[in-house]
């Protein structure tokens, strides 16, 4: 009895595999076409609009330093960083990243 059930399951699984392979081959062309259309109609214009938005915002951005306020909960150095003098972050920008004592250029305090 178990052998009969085993043969039935093998036949049904092989038939299902053949049907799914045939369906995948038929849908493969339509699926690829759909993604190509979505790329040109949605993705490329979407990226273009985002790039334009970034460019326009960068044109109106002021590059003034913010007023430094020495808050107790910010810029805590419990141990030094393992690079440089230990006080500068890895991607430190002296214009926009203050140290715990303030900005590095003393003329803008």
CATH number of 63-104: 4.10.95.10
Residue-wise pLDDT tens digits, 63-79: 788 899 989 898 888 89
The residue that leads in pLDDT, 6 or 105, is: 105
In Å, how far are 17, 33, 51, 73 from 36, measured between CA atoms? 28, 5, 21, 50
Mean pLDDT of 48-75: 91
Distance CA 27, CA 66 (A): 57
Structure confidence by residue, pLDDT tens digits, 1-23: 666 666 656 666 665 566 555 55
Sketch the domain layout of the chain as residue ranges.
63-104
Cα-based angle 64, 70, 76 (whole degrees, multiple of 5) = 110
**In this model, does residue 37 exceed pLDDT 50?**
yes
């Amino acid at each position: 009895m178990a052998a009969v059930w085993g043969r039935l399951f093998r036949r049904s699984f092989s038939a299902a595999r053949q049907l799914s392979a045939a369906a995948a081959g038929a849908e493969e062309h339509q699926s690829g076409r759909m993604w190509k259309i979505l790329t040109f109609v949605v993705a490329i214009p979407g990226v273009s609009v985002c790039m334009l938005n970034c460019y326009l915002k960068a044109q109106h951005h002021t590059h003034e330093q913010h007023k430094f306020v020495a808050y107790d909960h910010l810029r805590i150095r419990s141990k030094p960083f393992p690079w440089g003098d230990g006080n500068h972050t890895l991607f430190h920008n002296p214009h926009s990243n203050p140290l715990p004592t303030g900005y590095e250029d003393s003329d803008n305090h």
